[in-house]
Amino acid sequence: MKMTAPLMVTLLAAIGLALPSGLLAAESCVGCHAEKTPAAVAQWRQSAHGKAGIGCESCHGSDHDRILKGEAKVDLTRCAPCHPKATKEHQASRHGLGLHTGWGCTRNLPDRKKDECRFCHRQGDEAPSTLVQCARFLKQSSEMAHVGCNSCHMVEGSCDSCHSKHSTDLAIARDPASCAKCHMGPDHPQWEMWQTSEHGILNKSAGRKLGPDCQSCHMPAGTHNVSSGITMNSGGVPYPAGQRAKARDEMVKICSGCHAPSFARRELEQGDAVRSQSLAILKEAEETILDLNTLGLLDPMPDHRPPHPLSGFQLVTDAQMLYEDTSHIERLFFKMKKYDYAKTVKGAYHQNPAYAHWYGNAELKMDLIDIKSEARRLKERKKAEPGQAGIEEELRSLKGRFERGALSAGDYAKEKARLLDRGN
Amino acid sequence: MKMTAPLMVTLLAAIGLALPSGLLAAESCVGCHAEKTPAAVAQWRQSAHGKAGIGCESCHGSDHDRILKGEAKVDLTRCAPCHPKATKEHQASRHGLGLHTGWGCTRNLPDRKKDECRFCHRQGDEAPSTLVQCARFLKQSSEMAHVGCNSCHMVEGSCDSCHSKHSTDLAIARDPASCAKCHMGPDHPQWEMWQTSEHGILNKSAGRKLGPDCQSCHMPAGTHNVSSGITMNSGGVPYPAGQRAKARDEMVKICSGCHAPSFARRELEQGDAVRSQSLAILKEAEETILDLNTLGLLDPMPDHRPPHPLSGFQLVTDAQMLYEDTSHIERLFFKMKKYDYAKTVKGAYHQNPAYAHWYGNAELKMDLIDIKSEARRLKERKKAEPGQAGIEEELRSLKGRFERGALSAGDYAKEKARLLDRGN
Amino acid sequence: MKMTAPLMVTLLAAIGLALPSGLLAAESCVGCHAEKTPAAVAQWRQSAHGKAGIGCESCHGSDHDRILKGEAKVDLTRCAPCHPKATKEHQASRHGLGLHTGWGCTRNLPDRKKDECRFCHRQGDEAPSTLVQCARFLKQSSEMAHVGCNSCHMVEGSCDSCHSKHSTDLAIARDPASCAKCHMGPDHPQWEMWQTSEHGILNKSAGRKLGPDCQSCHMPAGTHNVSSGITMNSGGVPYPAGQRAKARDEMVKICSGCHAPSFARRELEQGDAVRSQSLAILKEAEETILDLNTLGLLDPMPDHRPPHPLSGFQLVTDAQMLYEDTSHIERLFFKMKKYDYAKTVKGAYHQNPAYAHWYGNAELKMDLIDIKSEARRLKERKKAEPGQAGIEEELRSLKGRFERGALSAGDYAKEKARLLDRGN
């Protein structure tokens, strides 16, 4: 039985929906577009939308000029009214933070565009509606922000990040390749590590039932909340204990579809241990850099380079850390933090030995070697200059470590006394 | 109806071809080879060649000794007479330059082989028939040239670079994996970036019609000219404006099979902007190196290392740049130019955010940090030596920048005056 | 016909096997586990084991407490009695050395576990039953050893490294993805390089018959001895001539299933040449480091850093080389040796030009540039210190090279005389 417009009105009424105004509009769009963008029209005809008579105007609106200028993007606000459950789940998940993680206040940028303001401010409101900012975005050109950063981070408001545009075939959104579009690369190669994990290889040779894919574990029962069971923030820093325990229980429950819960918990705890150990390596590297900064030995020092867009001439090693206009040693740390650490920890939780160890842990350790070597070079370089008093420098470094909380008051006093004794 | 030899003669005659002499010869080859190389024989039997009675000798010739020594390679000159249209298109494309891009004058090499001459010279002719040379090839061992360089660059004359040898199944040549054999890796990972682009993931989950593959965009309507629509040379340097505009129109037309032309053009222009920005980063790094060379600070300087096979003791930073026997800072630049820049630009045009940004743009910026850090080290190192007059060095650097065209005459005069004033 | 228990007894008797005691036990396990671990039970029911009535207890034993604690791992000793041929072949191959390559004496480690002893010692026996040790393992946390090192190296005793646990579907073990679980990553990316080699792409587009996979060449006729035809040890060092010739003949025989033997031999010999050339580059880098060590210029020197777990304060550059607590220049060498060299050589033998050349050979050459640059820096750094006698240092370096066998007695005498002459 072919779906006709009158039949659909009846069916839609039965499930409490009115006939979308786009249905008839579609007829007029399709006239031209079947010729101008035949693929889009063909996909739409085959789609759940097309079959249910949800026409062009329902999603694209009717202002043809704005559409042509690329100003009438179809975003979450269009999809939400018809898909309220998925929207709510999506917004509760980390995907719901996509753009806010990848966007910052553009007020100081020379080439900002007016509509960028609305990412953080409601129309006519000066107070930001979000506090999350990304310094990297601020240093980036708008073109790189478009083809790079925002291609992934706009998942916050763009359902078509995962769902293909005119086709609504769920097989597309459910394919791990869909997730790969963002979840790959040096900073979070989840797709690559899954592919060659036990789960991925079973998936390839024996299908989804034996080999779980992204959805199996991260969208259980089809939820759009992709963050259940996750015990750390997107930078890999563990959540507070209570939140962590709750999330862990959720994940063990998911694993228990196939594994004994005791086994699953044990495996995940191995991942936790690897995470703590990796954080300690990171910390050692960061301390080395903070120490050089206290001693004025970074090359160049933050006040001799272009200002950080959020923190000015302060050294930044946290989530807002930049990868341009810094020093060689900070670049090494950026790689450790953003690439090596992520590979180690995600590799461990995704059961991929090569990512956990070679791509992750071994790189962490080798980069630490290089950071220490560079720190020695920078310290010697200073010594080579005449008139450097060694003890004063060590005292300054000690004070810095104490003030950063890397040294207890007792240890600080003890180390200080030892140094002053040596000085006499 | 089974194809018999007499029937084929008739058919071939009808399309203006004589019965290949190989047909009967095949009978004699097959006698032994069905046992000695059964796979090859089985594939040939199933192939379009086998079915049409194009036998072994048609492609391999009849000199069994030369075949056994590997001297009777089946190359384009064998295929061309029967496949003139494909040959012409192929030769008009960048594929037609394959070997010439990867080959250089071998006259000074100790272990050169005689038939290498024929890549550049016609038999009995001293003048080279091509000017394109690759310095890297000249520094390479002939074994690495065989398993490395030429495996890809021989696409110029080897149809079996893409078409499998005895089987003629088009599904093989059309599979993106066939392209991947060369178009992957650190210098041009088109295959990797396509796989996880929107196009690639749609291809995987929904097929070629919804998700275009290599051929869809680069061999439209089945042409063997793979270079239509390309706006830059193989080193990523943009073509002159006119050629660029024509190529862009061609590509927009291809995109328009699925997308609105205005959208396609806008997206490609974002790629152009990313390309210009990336070239500027490259330029900044190159200037730093050229400056060090002017100041005599490269370590080692070009005249203290083995000569460049084409340019001798000159510094080379262009397409003939080497990756051996140079300095640490040049090695960093080589990576920027050959790997980071390629990933950024190709990642942008292939709509892959992780390649455009993390693998490409972020690496470009981080490598620039390292290049600047190394440049500072080299300059300080010089200063540490006694008797260095700071201003003379700066004047020399200024002059170098002016002579390279990196500084206008006006700016040169101004900067020079400023320096000389300071000197008094 | 459904397989019933009595029928199976008959069938098993017919092939000389008794009914495994596990059959009836299975009934009691399955009662709970069909609910607790339904996937495992479902897979087992579909498996060859399930169909033949090989029940839970046959593999897992009957001590439920030990199973729950993860102490009753199903290993080779369980599988061997029923699968003697595969076991024997496996143990004769390099897979049979898996754990012994990745395991070392833990006696000096603070957190060692009691059952670790049994990897090297038989119960009650102080003498080690193996000599192979891995220093890296000794420096590693037990958690990283679990999720990293041992995940692959336990192939020695764990059939489920390749065979999935409860399902016995051979399609899983035979899929190249199964091999990829270990044979991928920076240290030996065989899977990645096969995928985009001629063999891999034919496999993808035309299937196993035209495009050989891992098994086709490394497990010919289904043998579990994966090491036939291999001419070098796992570190890439060639076997002695006799062993090498025998292995080469085996491999040429395998290739000859599809290729002319003369062609196959020629191609493999190109690989050999690339291997020798790559070893020479490695050697040059290693010599540079050994020289710095002789001169006391490594930063830090081995006696100023945590001791190597097997060699104490000696410099280690062989297979036991570490990637932590060493110097920057050693880290560069580690990458050359473990990553670049492996990619070059394996890339050549697997016919992947991008791995052989760009990922391998080019990196080897670029890392050598960096090693030489760092060596110059370390030597200058020493010179910057007052009171350094240049000739004494060169004499020490010369002596070191002579003692390591890198300089003949004649050349040593000649070079020494030249230096002493210069000194006057």
- Out of B143, B185, B384, the one facing C358 most closely (by C-beta) is B185
- Out of C198, C209, C358, the one facing B187 most closely (by C-beta) is C358
Cross-chain Cβ contact B273/A141 below 8 Å: yes
Q: How close, in Å, is residue A331 to chain C by CA atoms?
A: 16
Q: How close, in Å, is residue A122 to chain B by CA atoms?
A: 28
Give the mean pLDDT of A76-101. 87
Share of chain C above pLDDT 70, in %: 83
Please say if the pLDDT value at position C17 is more than 50.
no
Please say if the pLDDT value at position A23 is more than 70.
no
Cross-chain Cβ contact C175/A205 below 8 Å: yes
- Out of A39, A178, A384, the one facing B201 most closely (by C-beta) is A178
The pLDDT confidence band at residue B385, using thresholds 50, 70 and 90, is low
Cross-chain Cβ contact C347/B68 below 8 Å: no
Cα C371 to Cα A392: distance, rounded to the nearest angstrom: 35
Please say if the pLDDT value at position C66 is more than 50.
yes
Give the mean pLDDT of A258-280. 94
8 A C-beta contact, residue A356 and residue A347: yes
Give the mean pLDDT of B186-201. 96
Question: What are the tens digits of pLDDT across the range A35-45?
Answer: 888 888 888 99
Q: What is the pLDDT of residue A126?
A: 62
Assigned token pair, A101: 């993680």
The pLDDT confidence band at residue B180, using thresholds 50, 70 and 90, is very high
Q: What is the pLDDT of residue C352?
A: 97
Cross-chain Cβ contact B201/A180 below 8 Å: yes
Q: What is the pLDDT of residue A309?
A: 81
The closest of B124, A199, B320, B29 to C260, measured between CA atoms, is: B29
Q: What is the pLDDT of residue B48?
A: 95
Q: How many CB atoms lie within 10 A of CB C248?
A: 19
The pLDDT confidence band at residue A11, using thresholds 50, 70 and 90, is very low
Cross-chain Cβ contact A147/B270 below 8 Å: yes
Cross-chain Cβ contact B143/C274 below 8 Å: yes
Give the mean pLDDT of A170-174. 92
- Out of A258, A262, A366, the one facing C323 most closely (by C-beta) is A366
Cross-chain Cβ contact B43/C257 below 8 Å: no
Please say if the pLDDT value at position C7 is more than 50.
no
- Out of A257, A274, A370, the one facing C39 most closely (by C-beta) is A257
Q: What is the pLDDT of residue A119?
A: 58
Assigned token pair, B351: 């709509």
8 A C-beta contact, residue A320 and residue A311: yes
Please say if the pLDDT value at position C57 is more than 80.
yes
Q: Which residues of C touch A351 (CB under 8 A)?
A: 147, 151
Q: Which residue of A has its CA nearest to C73?
A: A263
Give the mean pLDDT of B158-171. 91
Assigned token pair, C161: 């490294």
Q: What is the pLDDT of residue C401?
A: 86
User: Do you know the residue count of chain C?
Assistant: 424
Average pLDDT of chain A is 85
Higher pLDDT, A390 or B222: B222
| 3-state DSSP assignment of residue B239 | coil
Q: Which residues of A touch C151 (CB under 8 A)?
A: 351, 353
Phi, psi of C308 (to 5 degrees): -65, 135
Please say if the pLDDT value at position C416 is more than 60.
yes
Q: Read off the amino acid at residue A362.
A: A
Cα A94 to Cα A156: distance, rounded to the nearest angstrom: 8
Q: What is the pLDDT of residue C144?
A: 92
Q: Which residue of C has its CA nearest to B144?
A: C274
Average pLDDT of chain C is 85
Please say if the pLDDT value at position A156 is more than 70.
yes
Q: Which residues of B touch A68 (CB under 8 A)?
A: 260, 262
Give the mean pLDDT of C387-391. 60
Q: Which residues of A touch B358 (CB under 8 A)?
A: 148, 185-187
Give the mean pLDDT of C25-36. 79
8 A C-beta contact, residue A289 and residue A317: yes
Q: Which residues of C touch A380 (CB under 8 A)?
A: 381
Cross-chain Cβ contact C184/A202 below 8 Å: no
Please say if the pLDDT value at position A178 is more than 80.
yes
Q: Which residues of C touch B326 (CB under 8 A)?
A: 369
CA distances from C176 to A339, B176, B316, C15, C399 (A): 27, 19, 43, 32, 50
Reported ipTM:
0.85
The closest of B204, B195, B351 to A171, measured between CA atoms, is: B204
- Out of C258, C348, C368, the one facing B39 most closely (by C-beta) is C258
Range with top average pLDDT, A106-115, A363-372, A392-401, C301-310? A363-372
The pLDDT confidence band at residue B381, using thresholds 50, 70 and 90, is confident
Please say if the pLDDT value at position A117 is more than 70.
no
Q: What is the pLDDT of residue A342?
A: 96
Q: Which residues of B touch C277 (CB under 8 A)?
A: 141, 143-144
The DSSP output letter for B298 is: S
The pLDDT confidence band at residue C153, using thresholds 50, 70 and 90, is confident
Assigned token pair, C78: 């369980």
Q: What is the pLDDT of residue A1?
A: 40
Q: Which residues of A touch B380 (CB under 8 A)?
A: 381
Higher pLDDT, A143 or A310: A143
Q: Read off the amino acid at residue C387.
A: G
Least confident of B419-423, C210-214, C384-388: C384-388
Cα C377 to Cα A369: distance, rounded to the nearest angstrom: 17
8 A C-beta contact, residue B340 and residue B364: yes
Cross-chain Cβ contact A358/C328 below 8 Å: no
Cross-chain Cβ contact A205/C171 below 8 Å: yes
Please say if the pLDDT value at position A34 is more than 90.
no
Give the mean pLDDT of C380-387. 72
Question: What are the tens digits of pLDDT across the range C205-226?
Answer: 889 888 999 999 999 999 999 9
Cross-chain Cβ contact B177/C273 below 8 Å: no
8 A C-beta contact, residue A152 and residue B195: no
Give the mean pLDDT of B375-390. 76
Q: Which residues of B touch A175 (CB under 8 A)?
A: 201, 204-205
Question: What are the tens digits of pLDDT across the range C236-280?
Answer: 888 999 999 999 999 999 999 888 898 999 999 999 999 999 999
The pLDDT confidence band at residue B181, using thresholds 50, 70 and 90, is very high
- Out of C354, C357, C359, the one facing B144 most closely (by C-beta) is C357
Give the mean pLDDT of A26-32. 79
CA distances from A157 to A87, A397, C329 (A): 10, 46, 48
Higher pLDDT, B89 or C385: B89
The pLDDT confidence band at residue A127, using thresholds 50, 70 and 90, is low
